[in-house]
Amino acid sequence: MAWNSSGGPSPWGNPRPGGGPWGQPQPPSGGGQGGGGGRGPDLDDMIRQAQDAARRLLPRGLGGAGIGLLALLLVGAWLASGIYRVQADEQGIVLRFGAYTQTTQPGLNYHLPWPVESVTTPRVTRINRIDVGFRAAADAGTLVRPVPARDVLEESLMLTGDENIIDIDFAVFWRIRDAGSFLFNTRNPEATVKSAAESVMREVIGRTPIQPALTEARAQIEQAVRAGTQGIMDQYQAGVEITQVQLQNAQPPARVVDAFIDVQRAGADRERARNEAESYRNGIIPAARGESQRLVQEAEGFRESQISRARGESQRFLSVLSAYQAAQDVTVRRLYIETMEEVLRRNPTILIDNNLQGMVPFLNLDGARPGPLQPQRQSGQPTPQSPLSQPGAARPAGATR
């Protein structure tokens, strides 16, 4: 069909002075009838030319059946283009006309060919890292604890539970758990993870005093921040799993670090003095308790010995009394003999024959052998003189002056 080649009005109702369909003069064509007349492009001619070009491309002698077979092959190739493979560390996200349809697991899968459906395969096993409070150097991404290249104070300065300021840097490690939720439920997942982690860290530090936050409570802080951030991500359905929160640096601000060190030293001196006092107390109190127990045990032993001795004496007296009551004469004589034996054992014995004449009895006052009952002379007292040296003292026969 030709475009109103009779030279009449335009099909849009406007005059066509130059013969063209849009009212402009038509350039002469080299293939028209004589090159003049101003005819427009012929649609039938265009279709015919396209068919001729297709015939030139196809092998000769190919009929309608061959063309149909070729069309089937083209359709089969188009349908086969929907086969895709998901790697072990990936998840397949199928989009139908740009909208999320389903999530496929690793392996061979199929989706409707383009342009109906398309697929994207993000990696879900890769561990991603977000630094909060500092920015690490570009070549330190593989380090577990990289040295901060720049400190971001607006992120790292936090208020502790005892109203102190702490400068804390930490890193959040996360991975994609659900690729569909990760791609379509949040606009910027990395910024969401960072904001949630920083918010939870400020909450946890706001309940913790500064001293535990700097020393023994680091592990508890990391665990609490990880659990809190994971809860927020689950609430947002972001498809993100927080694998670890790692404190990189925790210290007082640089402006007050010297004063804080002085406070720490004073606290250490206080603890040292307290420990010394505790050790002194632990050494004195047990010793005093041991001494008191020793005295109590000695008193108990002395009491038991005295009681036992008194009981023994009473039993002996009762046995003597019973023996005396049974045989008074024999008992009296026995007591007399035992008493005299004890007295004579303690003092020297002198035997004098009654028939001996000329012997003058005298008291043995030998100073070399003082009697057991002789009193000791105190200093300053006069030395007692022997009775023999005194005038009128009796002397044995044959004694000379």
CA distances from 77 to 53, 71, 354 (A): 23, 10, 165
pLDDT of residue 39: 56
Q: Where are the domains of the chain?
A: 43-79, 82-120, 128-252, 267-338
Q: Which of 198, 226, 66, 216 is nearest to 134 (CA)?
A: 198
Question: Please, are residues 250 and 213 in contact by the beta-carbon 8 Å criterion?
Answer: yes
CA quadruple 373, 374, 375, 378: dihedral positive or negative?
A: negative
pTM for the full model?
A: 0.47
Domain 128-252 has CATH 3.30.479.30: yes
Report the residue count for the chain.
401
Shortest CA distance to 399 belongs to which of 384, 383, 380, 386? 386
pLDDT, residue 21, reads 45
Distance of CA 85 to the CA centre of its chain: 43
- Here the tokens at position 126 are 């890769």
- Distance from C-alpha of 146 to C-alpha of 349, rounded to nearest angstrom: 109
**Integer Cα distance of 93 and 123 in angstroms:** 11
Q: How far apart are the first and last CA of the chain?
A: 195
Q: What is the pLDDT along the chain (401 residues), one digit of tens a residue?
A: 444 444 444 444 444 444 444 444 444 444 444 444 445 567 778 777 776 776 666 666 555 666 677 777 777 777 777 777 777 667 777 787 777 777 777 777 777 777 777 777 777 778 889 998 888 765 444 444 555 567 788 888 888 888 888 888 999 999 988 887 888 888 888 899 999 999 999 999 999 888 888 888 888 999 999 999 999 999 998 889 999 999 888 888 877 777 777 877 888 889 899 999 999 888 899 889 999 999 999 999 999 999 999 999 999 888 878 878 888 888 788 888 988 888 888 877 777 777 777 766 665 655 545 444 444 444 444 444 444 444 444 444 434 33
d(Cα 292, Cα 289) in Å, to the nearest integer? 5
